Chains A and B, each alone.
Chain A
Amino acid sequence: MSAREVDVLIVGAGPAGLAAGAELAGAGAGRVEILEREQEAGGVPRHCHHGGFGGRLDRTVYAWAAATGSAYAGSGTSGPAYARRSVAAALDAGAALRTGVSVTGWAGPRTVETTGPGGLERITARAVVLATGARERPRSARLIPGTRPAGVWTTGELQQAVHLYGQRIGTTAVVVGGEPVAHAAVATLRAAGVHVVAVVTDRTPLPVLPRSRHVPLLTGATVTGLTGRARLTGVELRHDDGRTTTLRCDTVVLTGDFVPDHELARRGGLRLDPGTRGPAYDAAFRTSRPGVLAAGNLLHAVERAGFAAQEGRAVAVSVLHHLAGTEDPSGEGRRLVVDAPLRWIAPNVTGPHGARPTGDRFVLRTARRLLRPTLVVSQNGRELHRERLLLPAVPGRPIALRADWLDRVDPDGASVRISAR
């Protein structure tokens, strides 16, 4: 096994990793190396053949676009074009990009072990940036009972099968999920010539759910089982009113329900946030281990590619401070804890001094719909901030929380609590 040293090692060449690499190489951070385990860099956008990448969608536009199903035909470029552009930017800036190289584990605090066609390596970096992204939870993790036939997909696998490999999918499909990605699944199925019977979600009927003029949307319905032996024959549903039905189909796509791909972070002993399931991190993108930073959807599954890239650029600043020895001491931030029905907040540790999160706001998710809730931030029973949201909080969509209360946090106090009322 050969051993090497670099200045910055970035794990993952998706939107966050590539943006971090471009920024750091451009800033003269020394040898900046990005490792990508896939044969091609670019991350998930490589197989998202819809538009909307790199466009400027603010929150209102985003909600409108999602409600009308037009987000993916809107501004910006297509996923593959965005991926190519991100790769080119990193390479042009002078980052070294190595694809087909997998990080298989840690051999030290900032030393990773890799496997590639060229053999095994041990790479030590002055700073490591984890940008390993997120994935949709598969059928097994969702504990959907029934038989185990072929024809069960996540959107990620479906998009690759259709757009990267041109594989045959099936004839009739049901799409499960109420997040915008369900739309992408419908579009991909259409592109593959598959008839989409319905989009099914357990959410209650709402105007902001992704709708399509062409596909029936079944709300308030839970998938209770899959049928079929070799091949899927149907999806069993239970409606909120207790009725049960079976939709005949040979294909089902389980969309959304993203989780951070956090294995490397956990194997490295990084502290995880119980809500996001990604590494706990502060506004400077620092994890619980000095010199190991993180960016993108590993931290919060999931935000759009543009947001991940923005984080990639922001993490570069912290990396530069770390390399220069000018960063504030880490490990002293207060934890941010959410109360149900809020699911998580990101970042989820305060500090360093004065640092504000990307866009000067925290991102949160709720487990159930809240009509114009008031978010209350408190510490040791003392209220730090109160904010009424103008729009309903909806599961699967980002909720923004202002960050200007951070300077009121007692650095020696308890965890900071965020609740929705």
Chain B
Amino acid sequence: MTVTLTTAGPLPSVQDAENTYDVTVVGAGVVGAAIARELARHRLRTALIDAADDIGNGTSKANTAILHTGFDAVPGSLEARLVREGQELLAAYAGETGIPVERVGALLVAWDEEQLAALPGLRAKAGRNGYHASRIIGADELRRREPHLGPGALGALEVPDESVICPWTTPLAFATQAVRAGVHLHLNCRVRDVGSDAGDHLLTTTRGPLRTRYLVNAAGLYADEIDRLLGHDVFTVTPRRGQLVVFDKLARGLVSHILLPVPGPAGKGVLVAPTVFGNVLLGPTAEDLDDRTATGSTAGGLRLLREKGRRIVPALLDEEVTAVYAGLRAATGQEDYRIQEYPARRYVAVGGIRSTGLTASMAIARHVRGLLADTGLDAGEPGPLPPLTMPNLGEAFPRPYRSAELIAGDPAYGTLVCHCEQVTLGEIRDALRATIPPHSLDGLRRRTRARGGRCQGFYCGAAVRALFEEARP
């Protein structure tokens, strides 16, 4: 296994045909990484490039971490189909590779008569989306199943297959498997321009030129900009900010299901959901912005979330907040994905992948693989991918600090560094030596949870930084 992962310096030479990539995927978020993994099955020279210093560093790192059934998608849309297929593919993949998933189920809680009256329609819509396991429950059963719910809940639509998933391990798993199968990963590599030369795409990047025969645009918030570099003017990404609040693990007992609001004219609304790390999430807001870098939280946003959260689960607001973050969804003003192939250009645009992108990622990848074939890519027969096991970050699965066997084999798994999240020296060391190592403390946190707990580094911050700096080449 030869791994090609670069973060600085010029890209592999483009002077000779041998160094021309067959396919280049721009954007190493969850969708781009899934596409790269799909292509890695074939004997192709594939590159996965990203402007950031890590995979999944844009929209993918800051979402609601839910593996959707697609029950509420627009029936007949591409998104509805890919979410449905993607959910099955990712659930199976998570099982194989150890990505933490918990099937906690969702409850769409009705807080007034109007919302209660909307539940049968939502159930019928779920049916049209091929999801038939939902059912309507009354106020008593709802109260029994969610005793900490605020007063006034009248009933709910139960969607038992909605799950929570690790949003960080998923793209990392895709990219790791892709890279191990021979895909080149180039980070800190922003596309400045796209030209053509002898039928190939000639990309100008911050790390020099890159030549590729086929191009896949999975640039998320910047997908429209890349699209325009190819001369199209089809869609515009309007970032929609979602601010989220993560509550301490001691709040986990307050919530059993993903508690969804009944969607209204103002969008999907604010949810309360458990996370696979054992926290509770409150959010997101939905703010349409112009600035694609505005990933800051605001006083108004946090106030709004706390107001909404207090109604849904009042006791939640008494718990400590361990993290506040904001992510930007790549909205395009159209209620569907914008996936388009351009055979004459040997190009596929993957735009408008909104909050369902995590769930749909593997199905999108399969779909794009098909579109690439339609544009003329002869990929040959697929081969097997190298098997992969990801380190477990989920509370519902065995963690190293609880494994006598693991500790007996290597005492580093019995040495806790981050006490709040119970992250061991062994896990931090493994992450720093992994196929795709972190290039920042935040990257290390997303791989191990170190410094991600209630103290946010009061106890372990300096120790974790020391380990990170020691390992940096």
Using a CB–CB cutoff of 8 Å, the interface residues on chain A facing chain B are 1, 37-38, 100, 102, 104, 115-120, 135-141, 143, 145-148, 150, 153-154, 156-157, 160-161, 164-165, 167, 224-225, 227, 229, 259, 261, 263, 266-267
A102-B419, A117-B415 known; A138 vs B463 contact (CB < 8 Å) = no
For the complex, is B250 an interface residue (Cβ under 8 Å from A)?
Answer: yes
Measured CB to CB, the closest approach of chain A to B460, in angstroms, equals 8
Please give me the residue from chain A that is nearest to B469 by CB atom. A167
For the complex, is B461 an interface residue (Cβ under 8 Å from A)?
Answer: yes
CA distance A104 to B404 in the complex (A): 13
For A143, give its contact among B324, B402, B411 (CB under 8 Å).
Answer: B324
Q: Are B299 and A140 in contact (CB under 8 A)?
A: no
Please give me the residue from chain A that is nearest to B414 by CB atom. A117
For the complex, is B407 an interface residue (Cβ under 8 Å from A)?
Answer: yes
Q: Are B320 and A143 in contact (CB under 8 A)?
A: no
For B458, give its contact among A146, A154, A224 (CB under 8 Å).
Answer: A154
A115-B414, A118-B411, A259-B320 known; A165 vs B401 contact (CB < 8 Å) = no
CA distance A67 to B416 in the complex (A): 40
Interface size of B as a range: 35 or more
Measured CB to CB, the closest approach of chain B to A298, in angstroms, equals 14
Q: Are A140 and B298 in contact (CB under 8 A)?
A: no
Of B21-29, B257-265, B289-297, the stretch lying at the interface with chain A is B289-297
Q: Are A157 and B401 in contact (CB under 8 A)?
A: no
A102-B416, A120-B402, A120-B407 known; A161 vs B321 contact (CB < 8 Å) = no
Contacts of A259 in B (CB 8 A): 320
Please give me the residue from chain B that is nearest to A228 by CB atom. B296
A115-B407, A119-B404, A154-B457 known; A141 vs B325 contact (CB < 8 Å) = no
Contacts of B457 in A (CB 8 A): 138, 153-154, 157
Using a CB–CB cutoff of 8 Å, the interface residues on chain B facing chain A are 246, 249-250, 293, 295-299, 301-302, 320-325, 401-402, 404, 407-408, 411-412, 414-416, 419-420, 422, 440-442, 454-459, 461-463, 465-466, 469
CA distance A161 to B299 in the complex (A): 30
For B456, give its contact among A38, A104, A138, A263 (CB under 8 Å).
Answer: A138
Measured CB to CB, the closest approach of chain A to B412, in angstroms, equals 8
Q: Are A140 and B321 in contact (CB under 8 A)?
A: yes
Q: Are B466 and A104 in contact (CB under 8 A)?
A: no
16 A-B Cβ contacts within 8 A?
Answer: A102-B401, A104-B402, A117-B415, A118-B414, A119-B404, A136-B458, A138-B455, A140-B246, A140-B323, A143-B321, A145-B301, A147-B295, A148-B442, A157-B458, A167-B469, A263-B454
For A146, give its contact among B296, B416, B419, B442 (CB under 8 Å).
Answer: B296
Please give me the residue from chain B that is nearest to A162 by CB atom. B462
Q: A115-B414, A263-B420 are in contact. List 6 more A-B contacts (CB 8 A).
A: A138-B456, A150-B441, A154-B457, A157-B458, A167-B465, A225-B299
Please give me the residue from chain A that is nearest to B305 by CB atom. A143
Please give me the residue from chain A that is nearest to B403 by CB atom. A120
Please give me the residue from chain A that is nearest to B319 by CB atom. A141
CA distance A160 to B415 in the complex (A): 19
Query: Which of A1, A119, A146 has the most CB atoms of chain B within a 10 A radius of its CB?
Result: A119
Query: Which of A100, A138, A143, A160 has the most CB atoms of chain B within a 10 A radius of its CB?
Result: A138
CA distance A140 to B440 in the complex (A): 19
A37-B416, A104-B401, A135-B458 known; A145 vs B296 contact (CB < 8 Å) = yes
Q: Are B297 and A145 in contact (CB under 8 A)?
A: yes
CA distance A119 to B410 in the complex (A): 10
Contacts of A135 in B (CB 8 A): 455, 458-459
CA distance A1 to B414 in the complex (A): 13
CA distance A266 to B251 in the complex (A): 11
Contacts of B323 in A (CB 8 A): 140
Minimum-distance CB pairs A-B, first 9:
A138-B456, A117-B411, A160-B462, A157-B461, A161-B462, A156-B458, A147-B296, A117-B414, A135-B458
Contacts of B420 in A (CB 8 A): 263
Please give me the residue from chain A that is nearest to B419 by CB atom. A37
A104-B422, A167-B466 known; A145 vs B302 contact (CB < 8 Å) = yes
Measured CB to CB, the closest approach of chain A to B57, in angstroms, equals 11
Contacts of A143 in B (CB 8 A): 302, 321, 324
CA distance A115 to B424 in the complex (A): 10
Please give me the residue from chain B that is nearest to A133 by CB atom. B459
Contacts of B465 in A (CB 8 A): 161, 165, 167
For A139, give its contact among B249, B411, B440, B456 (CB under 8 Å).
Answer: B456
Q: Are B321 and A141 in contact (CB under 8 A)?
A: yes
Please give me the residue from chain A that is nearest to B416 by CB atom. A102
Measured CB to CB, the closest approach of chain A to B421, in angstroms, equals 11
CA distance A227 to B295 in the complex (A): 11
Contacts of B321 in A (CB 8 A): 140-141, 143
A1-B404, A140-B456 known; A116 vs B414 contact (CB < 8 Å) = yes
